[in-house]
Amino acid sequence: MWLLCRMKMASIQELKQELQASNHQQLLELCLRLAKFKKENKELLSFLLFESHDEEAYLNSIKEMIDEAFTELPKSNVYLTKKTLRKILRFTNRYIKYSGSRQVEAGLLIHFCSRMKTLGIANTKSPVLNNLYEMQLKKITIAMKTLHEDIQYDLQKEVDRL
The least confident of 2-6, 98-102, 145-149 is 2-6
Q: What predicted TM-score, i.e. pTM, was given to this entire model? A: 0.80
Residue type, 30: L
Question: What span, in angstroms and rounded, lies between the C-alpha atoms of 57 and 67?
Answer: 15
Amino acid 160: pLDDT: 79
Over the stretch 15-38, which tens digit does the pLDDT of each residue have? 788 888 888 898 888 888 888 888
Rounded mean pLDDT of 76-87? 88
**Nearest alpha carbon to residue 118 among 133, 140, 96:** 133
Q: What are the sequence ranges of the domains in the chain? A: 12-52, 54-161
What is the chain's mean pLDDT, rounded? 86
Amino acid 1: pLDDT: 47
Rounded mean pLDDT of 136-162? 84
**Nearest alpha carbon to residue 162 among 144, 147, 146:** 144
What are the angstrom distances between the C-alpha of 20 and each of 25, 42, 73, 97, 113? 12, 22, 47, 25, 42
